[in-house]
Chain A
Amino acid sequence: MTRFATREDFTAYTEALAKAGSGKERTRILVGMSTCGIASGAEAAYEAIGAAVAEAGLDNVEVVKTGCVGLCHAEPTVEVERPGKPLATVGKVDAERGRQLVADLAAGRELDGCLCTGGEVYGNQVRIALRNCGRINPENLDDYLGNGGYQALARALFEQKPEDVIAVVKESGLRGRGGGGFPTGLKWEFARKSQADTKYIVCNADEGDPGAFMDRSILEGDPHVILESMALAGYAIGAANGFIYVRAEYPLAVKRLTLAIDQAKAKGLFGQNILGSGFSFDVSIKYGAGAFVCGEETSLIHSIEGKRGEPTVKPPFPAESGLWGKPTNVNNVETLANIVPILQKGGAWFRAIGTESSPGTKVFALAGDVKNVGLVEVPMGTTVREIVYGIGGGTPSGKPVKAVQTGGPSGGCIPAEKFETPVDYDTLTALGSIMGSGGMIVMDQDTSMVEIARFYLQFTCDESCGKCTPCRVGNKRLLEILDRLLQGEAKADDLTTLKELSLVIKDTSLCGLGQTAPNPVLSTLQWYHGEYEQCLRPKKTVKDYRIVEEKCVGCTACARICPVKCIDGVVKKPHVIDQDKCVHCGACFSTCKFDAIVCE
């Protein structure tokens, strides 16, 4: 493979690639090899399948390493593409089952353990950001090129002015998928208008929200889309350099990104003088070092500069003065993954998906007490119920879902009675939560909401950078109140303080971390006030008396002896003790001749 010196070279190559691929009756076995796939044993399965294919002499079968298809609950997953047959998805494939799968294929049998065919398992999903994840080999540039890769960049460089690119992104209505929801096209326009000799593009891959892993999946499954989108952003705003700020906890993502950068540069699709257009764009990878606040753009910029990742007051926005004082455009991974499809298909196409105020799709990381843990991508406006029950399959225990938490430590809980809400940026905000980066944690009836609030607040306290007082001290005080509540030592006015202090922290904190930190407390206070009130009551020290329905003959002896008249019932029918009135005197217990009252 030689370097493409011109656009014509590139077009000739992709056309030849398409020709070589068409008319071929090939079967492809795609093995999901992202971090969770590998942790579940995908490597052993991949090797076993490869060996079995070679042994059986199946020349027309290709075994491909791919990214994550998002069916985390069934890892390691394998998908089989056969000519003339619907796509088959097989879950929990170990080495043994891998060999079985190849044997079934060779014999033309039905595939054993097939979860579904034709991709039904994905439910009503629409894949834009994840479109290549699990479909292509992320380590093979030809796979990406085969799916239209780098075409949008080539067209922009030769046919569109930077302003045209920005106009398409603006028309699409794409909003920042990192959580803020700021219109991406506007952000680009501001950076374009800033006058400076040097500008920067930054990809925010510091996915710090606990429970969100879509950015990792995109980086591991489709690294080239990030490079192409960053180059497009660079062309649009007039930047020649970029940084990908990625978590040190994502080694596989870094490995695949590095490989992708080398591949694209070797072909002249990235780096110096891209396709002979005269436009150059290069990126460096920067490691994060474990600080949640670095997801905030000004903190992230300081971290790239090698400083403590503390935020600064906006304005000035990074679009005016960012990295080393130069105009800087920061976009999240999922936002960037949408750029290439938007430029391929147009702003109007994107705008038609989703809701009026939030066009497009959103990737959610569905986890917690839910059957089908995984990554789902749905159009904005899909209801919570559809995501949790329709795609997620409800809880593994079959118990009803109590609440869904969105937005991580900056978000809030959505109670079951609001599950009909169509999800977009604005409806979630109205419910007291936020979209955030798309973590969606499902909780069943056994989850204590006060403990959940405490969990997030503990996280925020650990992660607060300490620069501003409301966040540093305020959240600590909130945490102390929650601790008192959970230990049964709360004071009467604690709930009032909790709410007031939360509002003050929201109003006065310097950056997004502090301004949203009390959200988990406020939303649980709003929807589950009863649970907080329960914490105000003294802890139960005496045991409760209870009537066993099957044993009670309805003799009324207990009801007659009860000094507070808290036992209710009809003659010859089982009686019931009203626990709120009971004084635990035990009179009923000693009176009952049928052992129908128990003390527990």
Chain B
Amino acid sequence: MAEQVETLPAAGFAELEAFIGGLSFEADLESRRGVLIDTLHKAQEIFGYLPEEVQKTVAEKLGLHLSEVYGVVSFYHYFTTEIRGANKVNFCMGTACFVRGAEKVVAQFEEELGIKVGETTADGLFTLGTLRCVGACSLAPVVMVNERTYGHVTPEQVSRIVAEYRK
């Protein structure tokens, strides 16, 4: 796990606890389990990732074992325990993108930023990641930067896209 650079904001924990407090679930184990994934989605939305401290809070508030929470976090791709850069560059790994040359685009991003997929740049600006098919196959190959979708991306366009987020 990456070194935790900054301390987690207290306001985030307050928001998370308020979210859990607002959920309607019964006291039994099944109900508490049933809201776990929703809670983790919220927690990742607040903190950007799910470090041990956050997982502990979730486990405590829902009355679940930390091991169970960690089991769920580590199972699903959507959840991450590593802190991520300010800009998340994600490559669609769908078949249409693959057929249309996504690998060349990925390689160009890796070269441009000097990191591999799954890593974050030293300045904390970019994280490279992969995404399951976003279903925008007509735009293949697709790169998502944060919420924005870039379609028909060629290796030549990469430096321009990166520059947009360097400002």
User: Footprint of B on A, CB under 8 Å?
Assistant: 35-36, 39-40, 72-73, 75, 207-213, 216, 248-250, 286-292, 303-310, 324, 365, 367-369, 373-374, 405, 408, 439, 441, 443, 447, 455-456, 459, 465
Contact = CB atoms under 8 A, between A and B. Distances in A.
A324 B70 CA distance: 22
A236 to B, nearest CB: 25
8 contacts: A36-B135, A75-B138, A249-B131, A287-B41, A289-B37, A365-B135, A367-B96, A456-B95
Given A290-B132, A305-B34, 20 more contacts: A35-B149, A36-B135, A72-B139, A212-B135, A213-B136, A216-B135, A249-B131, A249-B135, A286-B38, A287-B37, A288-B76, A291-B77, A304-B34, A305-B33, A306-B35, A306-B36, A308-B75, A309-B76, A365-B135, A367-B99
B72 interface: yes
Contacts of B78: 248, 288-290
Contact of B132 (A287, A292, A304): A292
B37 A367 contact: no
Interface in B69-101: 71-72, 75-79, 93-96, 98-100
Nearest to A75: B138
A74 to B, nearest CB: 9
B158 interface: no
Contacts of B136: 35-36, 39, 72, 213
Nearest to A251: B147
Contact of A36 (B38, B75, B77, B139): B139
Given A36-B136, A289-B77, A368 B96 contact: yes
Given A249-B132, A305-B30, A306-B37, A210 B95 contact: yes
B111 to A, nearest CB: 21
Contacts of B139: 36, 39-40, 72
Given A248-B41, A368-B100, A441-B99, A39 B149 contact: yes
Contacts of B125: none
B54 interface: no
Contacts, number: 126
B76 A441 contact: no
Contact of A439 (B40, B41, B72, B95): B95
B102 to A, nearest CB: 10
Interface residues of B, number: 35
Nearest to A309: B75
Nearest to A207: B135
A219 to B, nearest CB: 11
A471 to B, nearest CB: 15
A249 B76 CA distance: 13
B30 A324 contact: yes
Interface-centre pick from B136, B139, B151 (highest chain A CB count, 10 A): B136
B107 interface: no
B142 to A, nearest CB: 8
A368 B41 CA distance: 32
B59 interface: no
The 9 closest A-B pairs by CB, nearest first: A72-B138, A213-B135, A289-B76, A290-B77, A367-B137, A210-B133, A290-B78, A210-B94, A367-B96
Interface string B122-142: 000000000111111111100
A40 B151 contact: yes
A325 to B, nearest CB: 9
A308 B77 CA distance: 12
B89 to A, nearest CB: 16
A304 B33 CA distance: 9
Interface of B: 30, 33-38, 40-41, 71-72, 75-79, 93-96, 98-100, 131-140, 149, 151
B99 A369 contact: yes
Given A289-B78, A305-B30, A309-B75, A441 B138 contact: no
Contacts of B138: 36, 72-73, 75, 367, 373-374
A35 B136 CA distance: 7
B30 A213 contact: no
A308 B72 contact: yes
A368 B95 contact: yes
Nearest to A368: B99
Nearest to A408: B95
Nearest to B75: A308
A465 B75 contact: yes
Contacts of A456: 95
Contacts of B140: 367-368, 373
Contact of B95 (A36, A40, A307, A455): A455
A72 B98 contact: no
Contact of B79 (A289, A310, A368, A459): A289
A368 B101 CA distance: 10
B32 to A, nearest CB: 8
Contacts of A367: 95-96, 99, 137-138, 140
A411 to B, nearest CB: 10
A308 B71 contact: yes
Contacts of B40: 289
Contacts of A443: 99
B95 to A, nearest CB: 4
A426 to B, nearest CB: 24
Contact of B96 (A211, A286, A289): A211
A292 B36 CA distance: 19
Nearest to B71: A308
A36 B36 CA distance: 31
B30 A405 contact: no
A181 to B, nearest CB: 21
B72 A306 contact: yes
Nearest to A35: B136
A459 B100 CA distance: 17
B149 A365 contact: no
A373 B137 contact: yes
Given A289-B77, A290-B76, A441-B99, A211 B137 contact: yes
Contacts of B77: 289-291
A442 B115 CA distance: 32
A73 B136 CA distance: 10
